[in-house]
């Protein structure tokens, strides 16, 4: 990845990566500790993890297996309830739905299926049926997924292409609100979380794709076609 160079106080110069989202070389060191290094893009205002520190696919999968998500866990079900409510408000059971990045415990898919919805699950590690990515859907769900995107703009464009007219992409993630407390923000400490979102870069994504608008409802982000 092309980028600038910066002087590392602990050693020689290192390459400053281009922005993970927009690809521009207008980035600067944002936060660094013994375990993390994040940059900020001055163009699209995105904070992202240094790609040099990304986990290998094997280590990333092992990290997800540590989550041990139980679809029968009432607390887990309550956690994803806002995603379900967003779907119930907009679509009936005839909607075709894809749970993208469904993980080890696809609780959203389970609860939707229990309610009579037609749901398919795709996950590159745990449900890698690539044929599902050739179909079209009324709803695509990314529950605690978009913060893991290594090539976020490409992912958002591909997800848009899989939506039918009038369809929506419903995401759940922890938005970066108080940048003054980034050091204490628990969300950055997961090594598989490589990019963070807020109003400004979510709107940038809309402008760079064919989505018509984005709305934020708490931790739920809804992209409209």
The pTM (predicted TM-score) of the whole model is: 0.92
Q: Note the pLDDT of residue 10.
A: 55
pLDDT in tens, 156-208: 999 999 999 999 999 999 998 877 889 999 999 999 999 999 999 999 999 99
pLDDT in tens, 84-140: 999 999 999 999 999 999 999 999 999 999 999 999 999 999 999 999 999 999 999
Query: How many helices and strands, by DSSP H and E, does the chain display?
Result: 6, 11
Q: What does each C-alpha distance from 107 to 75, 130, 175 come to in angstroms? A: 11, 21, 21
**Is residue 198 situated within a structural domain?**
no
pLDDT band at residue 1 under the 50/70/90 scheme: very low
pLDDT band at residue 5 under the 50/70/90 scheme: low
**Is residue 129 situated within a structural domain?**
yes
135, 110 Cβ separation under 8 angstroms: no
The DSSP secondary structure of 65-80, one letter per residue, reads HTT---TT-HHHHHHT
**Is residue 146 situated within a structural domain?**
yes
Q: Domain range holding 134?
A: 57-178+204-224
The count of domains in the chain is 1
**Is residue 30 situated within a structural domain?**
no
**Is residue 68 situated within a structural domain?**
yes
**Is residue 46 situated within a structural domain?**
no
**Is residue 151 situated within a structural domain?**
yes
Residue 211 tokens read as: 């989505």
Q: What is the CATH number of the domain that holds 86?
A: 3.40.50.150
Residue 153 tokens read as: 């703009």
Cα four-point dihedral sign 156, 162, 167, 170 = negative
Name the pairing type of β-strands 47-49 and 37-41. antiparallel
**Is residue 134 situated within a structural domain?**
yes
Mean pLDDT of 17-37: 96
């Amino acid at each position: 990845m092309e980028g600038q160079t910066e002087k590392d106080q602990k050693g020689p110069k290192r390459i400053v990566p281009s922005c993970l989202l927009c690809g521009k070389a207008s980035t600067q060191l944002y936060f660094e500790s013994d375990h993390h290094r994040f940059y900020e893009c001055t163009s699209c205002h995105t904070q992202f993890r240094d790609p040099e520190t990304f986990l290998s696919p094997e280590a990333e999968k092992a990290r997800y297996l540590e989550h041990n998500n139980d679809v029968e866990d009432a607390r887990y079900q309550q956690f994803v309830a806002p995603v379900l409510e967003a779907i119930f408000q907009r679509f009936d059971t005839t909607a075709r739905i894809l749970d993208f990045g469904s993980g080890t415990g696809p609780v959203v898919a389970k609860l939707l299926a229990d309610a009579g919805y037609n749901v398919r699950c795709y996950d590159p590690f745990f449900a890698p049926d690539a044929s599902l990515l050739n179909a079209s859907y009324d709803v695509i769900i990314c529950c605690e997924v978009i913060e893991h995107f290594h090539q976020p703009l490409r992912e958002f464009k591909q997800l848009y292409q899989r939506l039918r007219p009038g369809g929506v992409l419903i995401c759940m993630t922890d938005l970066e609100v108080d940048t003054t407390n980034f050091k204490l923000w628990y969300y950055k400490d997961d090594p598989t979380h490589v990019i963070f979102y807020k109003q400004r870069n979510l709107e940038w994504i809309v402008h760079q794709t064919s989505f018509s608008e984005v709305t934020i409802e708490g931790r739920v982000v809804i992209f409209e076609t």
